[in-house]
Amino acid sequence: MNKETILNQRNYIPWIDVVRAIAILGVILCHVVDTAMAFPPKSDIVSFTFWTEIFKTLSRPSVALFVLITGFLLLPVNTDSISFYRKRLTRIIYPFIIWSVIYNLLPWVLSFLHDDLSVVKIVFPYYENQNPSLSDSLMGIATIPFTFNILTYPLWYVYMLVGLYFMMPIISPWIKKASEKEYKIVLILWIISLFIPYVHTFCIPYIFGEAEWNEFGMLYYFSGFSGYLLAGSIIKTSEKIPLKTKLWLSLPLFCIATWGTYEGYHFMMSNPEVTPEGMELFFMFCTPNVMAMTFAIFAMASRVHVASEKMIRILKTLSACGFGIYMVHYLFIGPIDFFLKQMSFPIWLHIPVCTIAVFAVAWVFIYCIKKMPFSKYITG
């Protein structure tokens, strides 16, 4: 056992992997709901709409939780920038490229093996190309360094994560030297920036120096996922808050924020002329309601005590497989959703059952791949 392995075992924090499990389930839940919404029922549409909106709301903190975990575990960076980039970026870039290529090739491969395009629609419900070709796949592959597409849309997260990784060694010297007061100033400015999407939609189109020719307003440099990253790095100081205080604050905060997110989404969807941007307004990750849901979950999970050695081993296995599960889960959602629909579960049961099934299948799949040589290039 090498020195790094021993150090990792000493520093292992079980509840962080509890948060990771919640985040993974949240991502899968979100995409299961997306798949269900691609094939709405012809009857009982009211119940279908209600439950899809509920589950979609509950999934919103997932990505922000991942970023909080990243900041919590990796900031401040204590190595030189090149070493950090080599270790972190290579871990995610190889699997990202491999699975992006696979996702782009699959419609052509499936249509080549099976003339019925319904098979393609089962795996990729929002794919509209009626005649998938190799040239279409190659075009998608060529654009991987620049953007995602309808086949790879769950992988948008990796582009954002790469940007955060680039930033982390740069901001680490400030994190090491900043005072508590300076931390608070930056986080307050970030929290104010979370309200800007609502100001744009409901008040004025431009604020703090924004204009048609300038999208970088005064708080632009304090906005986005970097706030979650920084919050994750300093949230350890909250360990001094007693358990009862955390629960007293976090549980009501989560309930209120969840209700506000649901009502906001429902309000926007009630407008027949709502734009795609309007549909996502209350679901945006960098908004005050989703931020509140995220911090509430993180705070409550931090009080989870895992004593069982067996459970710790399971959580460690999940942590090792986590990035791979994120990469592959979307491949399994369509087929599992199609299979479960044959059982005619009500939608309130279908969505959680499908989510758990996809989670289990993706976990087993990645766990098996990790037994192969060079698996780190496939699973991270």
- Cβ contacts of residue 72 below 8 Å, gap of 6+? 16, 232, 233, 235, 236
CB of 324 closer than 8 Å to CB of 361: no
Model confidence pLDDT, tens digit, residues 80-129: 999 999 999 999 999 999 999 999 999 999 888 777 677 888 889 888 87
Model confidence pLDDT, tens digit, residues 27-49: 999 999 999 998 888 878 889 99
211 strand-pairing partners: 214
- Cβ contacts of residue 347 below 8 Å, gap of 6+? 36, 41, 44, 47, 48, 51, 52
**What's the pLDDT score for residue 127?**
87
Give the mean pLDDT of the chain: 90
User: What is the percent of the chain with per-residue pLDDT over 70, rounded to a whole number?
Assistant: 94
CB of 64 closer than 8 Å to CB of 257: no
Q: E-assigned strands of 1-101? A: none
Kindly tell me if the per-residue pLDDT of 2 is higher than 60: no
Q: In this structure, what token pair is assigned to residue 47?
A: 């119940």
**What's the pLDDT score for residue 303?**
85
**What's the pLDDT score for residue 79?**
92
**What's the pLDDT score for residue 6?**
35
Q: For 3-7, 66-70, 321-325, which range has the lowest pLDDT when averaged over its residues?
A: 3-7
Q: Give the confidence band of 7 by pLDDT, cuts at 50, 70, 90.
A: very low
Q: Which residues of 51-62 are buried (b: 16+ CB within 10 A; e: fewer)?
A: bbbbbbbbbbbb
User: What is the percent of the chain with per-residue pLDDT over 90, rounded to a whole number?
Assistant: 71
CB of 48 closer than 8 Å to CB of 347: yes
Model confidence pLDDT, tens digit, residues 238-261: 555 555 667 778 899 999 999 999
Kindly tell me if the per-residue pLDDT of 355 is higher than 90: yes
Model confidence pLDDT, tens digit, residues 271-292: 888 888 899 999 999 999 999 9
Cis omega (within 30 of 0) for bond into 373: no
pTM: 0.92
- DSSP output for 222-257: G-TTHHHHHHHHHGGGGGGS-HHHHHHHHHHHHHHH
- DSSP output for 130-147: SS--HHHHHHHHHTTTT-
Handedness of CA 305, 311, 314, 320 (dihedral sign): positive
CB of 380 closer than 8 Å to CB of 321: no
Average pLDDT, stretch 140-168? Answer: 95
Cβ burial of 374 (10 Å; 0-12, 13-18, 19+) is exposed
